[in-house]
């Protein structure tokens, strides 16, 4: 047996190993060290909301301004008083998509992968989403669910989602969801017919297809903007739900009295929906809601040129990423 002494390590390699060992205990890769996954650093109250983030989001930010105006839009359009009092809707905006998917996998692994969701449990109302290109729309969509739950209580799933699709667009759009509108015009030309009675039999958000979201938006848009009788019927229905704290009797039955449930009437609304000023101000005083759009596939990570890459170049003339 030969006994050979191990050569003394290269001094540069020894220094690199020391650096790696010193950094080995870091458990917050991708986030500021010590920063919690659920946002806690910045808490801002605006209207009926309390917004929590780990990054600054001033009141003048367009996202915050759009959120702040939403409660007044819902109030005036639907005639529903909204008062959160000392129990605001809590909104958590995570820093990025990676943090959000990680959060879902830990706290809500049973939920489908969506960009945002609203959770109602007792008097607790919470919205979760993340900072990204769709933040403004996703916030308005889920915050609408929260406001409706606060003002009315439980609503049929089609109506809850239809109203959220209506109010998710910026105020200047007056409820016109352009993507839904364009798809519905195409589908009408292929023989699509709306059926409110079918929508009323949907039990949960998991039962709803993308087409159901579009149709729900169309019913809401046509009722609020098609005729005074339709708007009055919807507002009366919401008021009855508010009084009882639960679903009132079928809205389709009420609409049938004045033939407001006719498919031809609703489809006809598409012919002029995009060419009118559609904002109408009212003249009278455990649920989970998910944003309908799925999470996009993660983009391939770009190579980083950070601390360890610098060490690699210094010691070996190459990157260690």
- The closest alpha carbon to 132, from 85, 175, 93, 161, belongs to 93
What mean pLDDT do residues 227-252 have?
A: 87
Distance, in Å, from the CA atom of 171 to the CA atom of 66, rounded to the nearest integer, reads: 8
Range of the domain at 137: 42-285
**CA angle centred on 29, ends 26 and 35, rounded to 5°:** 85
- The CATH number covering residue 198 comes to 1.10.390
The model's pLDDT over 90-147, given as tens digits with 9 standing for 90+, comes to 999 999 999 999 999 999 998 888 899 999 988 899 999 999 999 999 999 999 999 9
Q: Residue 99 domain-assigned? A: yes
Residues contacting residue 119 through CB under 8 Å, at least 6 positions apart: 125, 126, 127, 128, 286, 287, 288
pLDDT at 277 over 50: no
| pTM reported for the whole predicted model | 0.76
Give the C-alpha separation, 218 to 190, whole Å: 17
With respect to residue 227, please indicate whether it lies within any of the assigned structural domains: yes
Flag whether 200 is in a domain: yes
Residue 258 falls within a domain, yes or no? yes
Q: What is the pLDDT of residues 2-37, one digit of tens each?
A: 433 333 344 443 333 333 233 333 223 344 555 788
- CA pair distance 143, 150, nearest whole angstrom: 10
Name which of 240, 169, 183 is nearest 214 in CA terms.
183
What whole-number distance in Å separates Cα of residue 282 and Cα of residue 244? 21
19 is a domain residue? no
310 within domain boundaries: no
Number of domains forming the structure of the chain:
1
Antiparallel, parallel or unpaired: β 49-53 and 42-46? antiparallel
Asked if pLDDT for residue 321 goes beyond 80, the answer is no
pLDDT in tens, 159-196: 999 999 999 998 888 899 999 999 999 999 999 999 99
- Strand 117-121 and strand 287-290: the pairing is antiparallel
Whether 264 maps to a domain, the answer reads yes
Strands 89-94 and 124-130, by their bridges, are parallel
| Burial status of residue 27 (CB atoms within 10 A of its CB: 0-12, 13-18, 19 or more) | exposed
β partners of residue 319: none
**5 occurs within a structural domain:** no
Cα-based distances in Å from 49 to 67, 110, 127, 132, 133: 9, 26, 10, 20, 21
Per-residue pLDDT tens digits for 40-95: 999 998 889 999 999 999 988 999 998 989 999 999 999 999 988 889 999 999 99
């Amino acid at each position: 047996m030969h006994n050979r002494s191990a050569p003394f390590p290269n001094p540069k390699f020894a220094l690199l190993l020391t650096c790696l060992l010193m950094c080995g205990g870091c458990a917050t890769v991708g986030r500021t060290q010590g920063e919690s996954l659920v946002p806690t650093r910045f808490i801002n109250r605006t209207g009926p909301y309390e917004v929590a983030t780990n990054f600054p989001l001033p009141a003048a930010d367009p996202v915050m301004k759009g959120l702040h105006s939403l409660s007044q839009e819902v109030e005036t359009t639907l005639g529903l008083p909204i008062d959160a009092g000392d129990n605001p809707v809590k909104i958590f905006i995570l820093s990025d998509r990676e943090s959000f998917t990680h959060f879902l996998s830990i706290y809500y692994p049973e939920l489908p992968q969506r960009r945002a969701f609203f959770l109602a449990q007792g008097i607790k109302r919470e919205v979760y989403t993340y900072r990204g290109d769709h933040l403004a729309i996703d916030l308005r969509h889920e915050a609408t669910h929260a406001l409706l739950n606060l003002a009315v209580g439980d609503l049929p799933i089609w109506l809850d989602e239809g109203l959220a699709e209506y109010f998710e667009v910026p105020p200047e759009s007056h409820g016109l969801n352009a993507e839904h509108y364009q798809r519905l015009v195409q589908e009408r030309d292929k023989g699509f017919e709306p059926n409110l009675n079918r929508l009323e039999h949907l039990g949960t958000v998991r039962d709803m297809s993308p087409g159901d979201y579009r149709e729900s938006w169309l019913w809401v848009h046509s009722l609020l903007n098609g005729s005074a009788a339709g708007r009055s019927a919807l507002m009366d229905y919401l008021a009855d739900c508010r009084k009882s704290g639960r679903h009132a009797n079928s809205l389709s039955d009420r609409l049938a009295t004045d033939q407001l449930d006719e498919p031809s009437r609703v489809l006809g609304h598409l012919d002029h929906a995009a060419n009118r000023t559609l904002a109408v101000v009212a003249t009278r005083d455990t649920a989970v809601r998910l944003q309908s759009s799925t999470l996009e596939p993660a983009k391939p990570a770009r190579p980083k040129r950070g601390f360890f890459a610098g060490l690699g170049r210094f010691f070996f003339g190459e990157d260690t990423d």
